[in-house]
Structure 1
Amino acid sequence: MKKITLVFCALLFVGTIAKAQAPLQEGEMQINGGVGLSNYGLPLYGGLEYGIGYNISVGGEVSYRGYHETYSSTKWNHAIFTAAAIGNYHFNELLEIPSEWDFYAGLSLGYSAWSSKYDGNGSFSYAGSGGSGLYLVGQIGGRYFFNENVGLNVELGGGNYSGGKIGVTIKL
Protein backbone atom coordinates (compact mmCIF):
# COMPACT_ATOMS: atom_id res chain seq x y z
CA MET A 1 0.00 0.00 0.00
CA LYS A 2 2.90 2.34 0.75
CA LYS A 3 4.25 1.79 -2.78
CA ILE A 4 0.91 2.65 -4.36
CA THR A 5 0.64 5.82 -2.26
CA LEU A 6 4.22 6.79 -3.14
CA VAL A 7 3.63 6.26 -6.88
CA PHE A 8 0.37 8.23 -6.72
CA CYS A 9 2.06 11.13 -4.92
CA ALA A 10 4.95 11.13 -7.42
CA LEU A 11 2.53 11.23 -10.37
CA LEU A 12 0.53 13.97 -8.70
CA PHE A 13 3.71 15.99 -8.12
CA VAL A 14 4.91 15.56 -11.72
CA GLY A 15 1.44 16.48 -12.99
CA THR A 16 1.36 19.69 -10.95
CA ILE A 17 4.79 20.95 -12.06
CA ALA A 18 4.32 20.06 -15.74
CA LYS A 19 3.25 22.98 -17.92
CA ALA A 20 1.73 20.89 -20.71
CA GLN A 21 -0.36 22.51 -23.41
CA ALA A 22 -2.80 20.17 -25.14
CA PRO A 23 -4.57 19.74 -27.49
CA LEU A 24 -2.76 20.74 -30.64
CA GLN A 25 -3.35 24.44 -31.37
CA GLU A 26 -3.89 25.97 -34.80
CA GLY A 27 -0.58 26.13 -36.67
CA GLU A 28 1.17 23.64 -34.36
CA MET A 29 2.53 20.28 -35.48
CA GLN A 30 3.26 17.02 -33.70
CA ILE A 31 4.68 13.64 -34.61
CA ASN A 32 3.33 10.34 -33.31
CA GLY A 33 5.00 6.94 -33.31
CA GLY A 34 4.65 3.59 -31.64
CA VAL A 35 3.20 0.11 -31.93
CA GLY A 36 -0.28 -1.11 -32.83
CA LEU A 37 -2.39 -4.05 -31.80
CA SER A 38 -3.31 -6.51 -34.54
CA ASN A 39 -4.27 -10.10 -35.22
CA TYR A 40 -1.63 -10.11 -37.98
CA GLY A 41 1.79 -9.19 -36.62
CA LEU A 42 2.96 -6.19 -34.61
CA PRO A 43 2.43 -2.94 -36.56
CA LEU A 44 4.92 -0.10 -36.22
CA TYR A 45 3.47 3.31 -37.06
CA GLY A 46 4.51 6.91 -37.48
CA GLY A 47 2.56 10.00 -38.35
CA LEU A 48 2.25 13.75 -38.35
CA GLU A 49 -0.66 15.94 -37.20
CA TYR A 50 -1.24 19.63 -37.83
CA GLY A 51 -3.69 21.90 -36.03
CA ILE A 52 -5.86 23.56 -38.68
CA GLY A 53 -8.48 25.29 -36.60
CA TYR A 54 -10.54 25.44 -33.48
CA ASN A 55 -10.01 21.98 -31.86
CA ILE A 56 -9.42 20.27 -35.24
CA SER A 57 -6.28 18.53 -36.49
CA VAL A 58 -5.47 16.71 -39.73
CA GLY A 59 -2.49 14.65 -40.76
CA GLY A 60 -1.13 11.46 -42.18
CA GLU A 61 0.14 8.15 -40.90
CA VAL A 62 2.03 5.15 -42.24
CA SER A 63 2.45 1.71 -40.72
CA TYR A 64 4.25 -1.50 -41.51
CA ARG A 65 3.97 -5.00 -40.14
CA GLY A 66 5.34 -8.33 -41.16
CA TYR A 67 4.60 -11.77 -39.84
CA HIS A 68 5.12 -15.44 -40.66
CA GLU A 69 2.89 -18.48 -40.46
CA THR A 70 3.10 -22.11 -41.52
CA TYR A 71 0.45 -24.23 -43.26
CA SER A 72 1.17 -27.88 -44.03
CA SER A 73 4.94 -27.36 -43.73
CA THR A 74 4.85 -24.34 -46.10
CA LYS A 75 6.09 -21.12 -44.52
CA TRP A 76 4.27 -17.93 -45.55
CA ASN A 77 5.80 -14.46 -45.17
CA HIS A 78 3.32 -11.58 -45.03
CA ALA A 79 3.97 -7.84 -45.27
CA ILE A 80 1.35 -5.13 -44.81
CA PHE A 81 1.98 -1.44 -45.54
CA THR A 82 -0.69 1.16 -44.74
CA ALA A 83 -0.91 4.87 -45.53
CA ALA A 84 -3.80 7.01 -44.26
CA ALA A 85 -5.13 10.54 -43.93
CA ILE A 86 -6.48 11.30 -40.47
CA GLY A 87 -8.71 13.97 -39.00
CA ASN A 88 -9.57 14.49 -35.32
CA TYR A 89 -11.75 16.70 -33.16
CA HIS A 90 -10.25 17.46 -29.71
CA PHE A 91 -12.73 17.58 -26.80
CA ASN A 92 -10.66 19.36 -24.12
CA GLU A 93 -12.37 22.72 -24.30
CA LEU A 94 -15.86 21.27 -24.72
CA LEU A 95 -15.46 18.94 -21.71
CA GLU A 96 -13.25 21.32 -19.67
CA ILE A 97 -10.42 18.79 -19.44
CA PRO A 98 -7.08 19.88 -17.88
CA SER A 99 -4.47 21.03 -20.41
CA GLU A 100 -2.01 18.16 -19.89
CA TRP A 101 -4.66 15.79 -21.31
CA ASP A 102 -5.88 15.60 -24.90
CA PHE A 103 -9.00 13.55 -25.71
CA TYR A 104 -10.01 13.24 -29.36
CA ALA A 105 -12.08 11.28 -31.87
CA GLY A 106 -12.01 11.24 -35.64
CA LEU A 107 -11.78 9.34 -38.91
CA SER A 108 -9.00 7.67 -40.91
CA LEU A 109 -9.16 7.13 -44.66
CA GLY A 110 -6.39 4.89 -45.91
CA TYR A 111 -5.10 2.16 -48.13
CA SER A 112 -3.53 -1.13 -47.05
CA ALA A 113 -1.24 -3.08 -49.36
CA TRP A 114 -0.97 -6.70 -48.26
CA SER A 115 1.46 -9.08 -49.93
CA SER A 116 2.18 -12.70 -49.09
CA LYS A 117 4.88 -15.01 -50.34
CA TYR A 118 5.65 -18.59 -49.51
CA ASP A 119 8.97 -20.39 -49.35
CA GLY A 120 8.88 -22.22 -52.63
CA ASN A 121 8.57 -21.48 -56.33
CA GLY A 122 5.93 -18.76 -56.35
CA SER A 123 4.05 -16.05 -54.57
CA PHE A 124 0.48 -15.23 -53.75
CA SER A 125 -1.20 -11.86 -53.11
CA TYR A 126 -4.40 -11.50 -51.15
CA ALA A 127 -7.21 -9.34 -52.50
CA GLY A 128 -10.57 -8.35 -51.07
CA SER A 129 -11.59 -8.78 -47.45
CA GLY A 130 -8.63 -9.05 -45.12
CA GLY A 131 -6.21 -7.96 -47.85
CA SER A 132 -5.28 -4.90 -49.87
CA GLY A 133 -7.80 -2.12 -50.21
CA LEU A 134 -9.28 1.17 -49.05
CA TYR A 135 -10.76 1.64 -45.60
CA LEU A 136 -12.61 4.31 -43.64
CA VAL A 137 -12.67 3.81 -39.88
CA GLY A 138 -13.18 5.82 -36.73
CA GLN A 139 -10.83 6.26 -33.82
CA ILE A 140 -10.99 7.59 -30.28
CA GLY A 141 -7.95 8.32 -28.19
CA GLY A 142 -6.19 10.27 -25.55
CA ARG A 143 -2.80 11.70 -24.74
CA TYR A 144 -1.12 12.66 -21.52
CA PHE A 145 1.67 15.23 -21.86
CA PHE A 146 4.49 14.92 -19.33
CA ASN A 147 5.76 18.35 -20.32
CA GLU A 148 5.10 20.91 -23.04
CA ASN A 149 6.48 18.70 -25.85
CA VAL A 150 6.33 14.99 -24.93
CA GLY A 151 3.30 12.82 -24.27
CA LEU A 152 1.99 9.25 -24.20
CA ASN A 153 -0.74 8.37 -26.73
CA VAL A 154 -3.32 5.56 -26.52
CA GLU A 155 -5.90 5.08 -29.26
CA LEU A 156 -8.70 2.57 -29.94
CA GLY A 157 -9.75 1.75 -33.49
CA GLY A 158 -8.21 3.76 -36.28
CA GLY A 159 -6.16 2.67 -39.24
CA ASN A 160 -5.72 -0.95 -40.09
CA TYR A 161 -5.29 -2.03 -36.45
CA SER A 162 -7.52 -4.62 -34.85
CA GLY A 163 -7.55 -3.12 -31.38
CA GLY A 164 -5.67 0.15 -31.25
CA LYS A 165 -2.22 1.53 -30.68
CA ILE A 166 0.08 3.01 -28.07
CA GLY A 167 2.96 5.37 -28.63
CA VAL A 168 4.71 8.67 -28.01
CA THR A 169 3.72 12.14 -29.21
CA ILE A 170 6.27 14.90 -29.66
CA LYS A 171 5.18 18.48 -30.38
CA LEU A 172 7.47 20.30 -32.79
Structure 2
Amino acid sequence: MTTSTNEAHALEAPRSGRIAPKYTRNGSGRGNFEMLAWLFMRVSGVILVVLIFTHLFVNLVVGDGIHAVDFGFVAGKWANPVWQVWDLVMLWLAMLHGGNGVRTIINDYADKKATRMWLKTVLYVATAVIILLGTLVIFTFDPCPANAPADLIPDFCSSL
Protein backbone atom coordinates (compact mmCIF):
# COMPACT_ATOMS: atom_id res chain seq x y z
CA MET A 1 0.00 0.00 0.00
CA THR A 2 1.59 3.29 -1.11
CA THR A 3 0.73 6.76 0.09
CA SER A 4 -0.03 9.38 -2.50
CA THR A 5 2.71 11.96 -2.86
CA ASN A 6 0.05 14.63 -3.28
CA GLU A 7 -1.10 14.18 0.33
CA ALA A 8 2.42 14.38 1.75
CA HIS A 9 3.31 17.59 -0.10
CA ALA A 10 0.00 19.42 -0.16
CA LEU A 11 0.21 23.19 -0.47
CA GLU A 12 -2.29 25.52 1.05
CA ALA A 13 -4.31 27.62 -1.31
CA PRO A 14 -3.13 31.23 -1.66
CA ARG A 15 -4.86 33.66 0.67
CA SER A 16 -6.09 30.80 2.81
CA GLY A 17 -6.44 32.99 5.85
CA ARG A 18 -2.97 32.59 7.32
CA ILE A 19 -1.55 36.12 7.30
CA ALA A 20 1.65 37.07 9.04
CA PRO A 21 0.92 39.29 12.06
CA LYS A 22 2.90 42.22 10.65
CA TYR A 23 0.45 42.41 7.72
CA THR A 24 -2.78 42.41 9.72
CA ARG A 25 -4.73 45.61 10.32
CA ASN A 26 -4.56 46.99 13.81
CA GLY A 27 -7.19 49.72 13.46
CA SER A 28 -4.65 52.55 13.48
CA GLY A 29 -6.56 54.51 10.84
CA ARG A 30 -3.79 54.44 8.23
CA GLY A 31 -6.08 52.55 5.89
CA ASN A 32 -8.18 55.65 5.28
CA PHE A 33 -5.10 57.79 4.52
CA GLU A 34 -3.70 55.17 2.17
CA MET A 35 -7.04 54.90 0.39
CA LEU A 36 -7.14 58.69 -0.07
CA ALA A 37 -3.52 58.68 -1.26
CA TRP A 38 -4.39 55.93 -3.78
CA LEU A 39 -7.40 57.93 -4.98
CA PHE A 40 -5.29 61.12 -5.22
CA MET A 41 -2.79 59.31 -7.45
CA ARG A 42 -5.52 58.30 -9.90
CA VAL A 43 -7.27 61.70 -10.00
CA SER A 44 -4.06 63.75 -10.12
CA GLY A 45 -2.67 61.46 -12.82
CA VAL A 46 -5.64 62.10 -15.10
CA ILE A 47 -5.53 65.86 -14.46
CA LEU A 48 -1.75 65.92 -15.05
CA VAL A 49 -2.15 64.19 -18.42
CA VAL A 50 -4.51 66.98 -19.55
CA LEU A 51 -2.33 69.75 -18.08
CA ILE A 52 0.94 68.40 -19.49
CA PHE A 53 -0.31 67.62 -23.00
CA THR A 54 -1.98 71.04 -23.25
CA HIS A 55 1.25 72.63 -21.99
CA LEU A 56 3.29 70.73 -24.59
CA PHE A 57 0.82 71.54 -27.39
CA VAL A 58 0.79 75.28 -26.63
CA ASN A 59 4.56 75.50 -26.13
CA LEU A 60 5.79 73.24 -28.90
CA VAL A 61 3.13 73.02 -31.61
CA VAL A 62 1.21 76.31 -31.73
CA GLY A 63 3.01 79.23 -33.35
CA ASP A 64 6.67 78.76 -34.26
CA GLY A 65 7.00 75.60 -32.18
CA ILE A 66 10.16 74.86 -30.26
CA HIS A 67 12.04 77.72 -31.92
CA ALA A 68 9.75 80.28 -30.26
CA VAL A 69 10.42 79.06 -26.70
CA ASP A 70 12.80 81.50 -25.10
CA PHE A 71 12.90 84.00 -22.25
CA GLY A 72 10.44 86.32 -24.01
CA PHE A 73 7.99 83.48 -24.67
CA VAL A 74 7.94 82.52 -20.99
CA ALA A 75 7.70 86.17 -19.93
CA GLY A 76 4.76 86.76 -22.25
CA LYS A 77 3.06 83.57 -21.14
CA TRP A 78 3.45 84.36 -17.42
CA ALA A 79 2.11 87.87 -18.00
CA ASN A 80 -1.28 86.15 -18.30
CA PRO A 81 -2.75 85.02 -14.93
CA VAL A 82 -4.39 82.00 -16.60
CA TRP A 83 -0.97 80.58 -17.54
CA GLN A 84 0.42 81.40 -14.11
CA VAL A 85 -2.35 79.40 -12.45
CA TRP A 86 -2.03 76.64 -15.10
CA ASP A 87 1.69 76.22 -14.44
CA LEU A 88 1.15 76.51 -10.68
CA VAL A 89 -1.44 73.71 -10.66
CA MET A 90 0.82 71.62 -12.88
CA LEU A 91 3.77 72.19 -10.50
CA TRP A 92 1.80 71.41 -7.34
CA LEU A 93 0.10 68.32 -8.74
CA ALA A 94 3.32 66.96 -10.28
CA MET A 95 5.28 67.41 -7.06
CA LEU A 96 2.55 65.99 -4.82
CA HIS A 97 1.89 63.11 -7.23
CA GLY A 98 5.60 62.27 -7.50
CA GLY A 99 6.17 62.72 -3.77
CA ASN A 100 3.30 60.39 -2.98
CA GLY A 101 4.72 57.80 -5.36
CA VAL A 102 8.18 58.02 -3.79
CA ARG A 103 6.58 57.83 -0.31
CA THR A 104 4.93 54.56 -1.37
CA ILE A 105 8.25 53.20 -2.65
CA ILE A 106 9.96 54.16 0.63
CA ASN A 107 7.23 52.40 2.61
CA ASP A 108 7.59 49.29 0.43
CA TYR A 109 11.37 48.98 0.40
CA ALA A 110 12.81 50.65 3.52
CA ASP A 111 12.92 47.90 6.15
CA LYS A 112 13.86 49.84 9.27
CA LYS A 113 11.45 52.32 10.83
CA ALA A 114 14.21 54.90 11.36
CA THR A 115 15.32 54.62 7.72
CA ARG A 116 11.74 55.15 6.54
CA MET A 117 11.36 58.15 8.82
CA TRP A 118 14.57 59.84 7.57
CA LEU A 119 13.92 59.11 3.91
CA LYS A 120 10.38 60.46 4.15
CA THR A 121 11.58 63.53 6.05
CA VAL A 122 14.07 64.31 3.25
CA LEU A 123 11.33 63.68 0.68
CA TYR A 124 8.82 65.96 2.41
CA VAL A 125 11.36 68.77 2.87
CA ALA A 126 12.53 68.55 -0.76
CA THR A 127 8.93 68.51 -2.04
CA ALA A 128 7.99 71.51 0.12
CA VAL A 129 11.07 73.50 -0.94
CA ILE A 130 10.47 72.86 -4.65
CA ILE A 131 6.77 73.76 -4.35
CA LEU A 132 7.60 76.92 -2.40
CA LEU A 133 10.38 78.06 -4.75
CA GLY A 134 8.37 77.20 -7.88
CA THR A 135 5.35 79.12 -6.60
CA LEU A 136 7.58 82.07 -5.73
CA VAL A 137 9.14 82.09 -9.21
CA ILE A 138 5.78 81.89 -10.99
CA PHE A 139 4.25 84.81 -9.09
CA THR A 140 7.29 87.07 -8.68
CA PHE A 141 8.80 86.65 -12.15
CA ASP A 142 9.50 90.06 -13.67
CA PRO A 143 11.17 90.09 -17.09
CA CYS A 144 11.67 93.87 -16.89
CA PRO A 145 13.30 94.58 -13.52
CA ALA A 146 13.75 98.18 -12.49
CA ASN A 147 17.28 99.58 -12.32
CA ALA A 148 18.72 96.76 -14.42
CA PRO A 149 21.54 97.54 -16.89
CA ALA A 150 20.12 98.34 -20.34
CA ASP A 151 22.09 95.59 -22.06
CA LEU A 152 20.45 92.96 -19.80
CA ILE A 153 16.86 94.10 -20.36
CA PRO A 154 14.96 92.18 -23.08
CA ASP A 155 13.84 94.01 -26.22
CA PHE A 156 10.14 93.75 -25.39
CA CYS A 157 10.52 95.81 -22.17
CA SER A 158 9.68 99.47 -22.51
CA SER A 159 12.61 101.75 -21.96
CA LEU A 160 12.87 102.84 -18.37
State TM-score, norm by structure 1: 0.23
Structure having the higher helix fraction is 2
Greater strand fraction, Structure 1 or Structure 2: 1
Q: Which has the larger radius of gyration?
A: 2
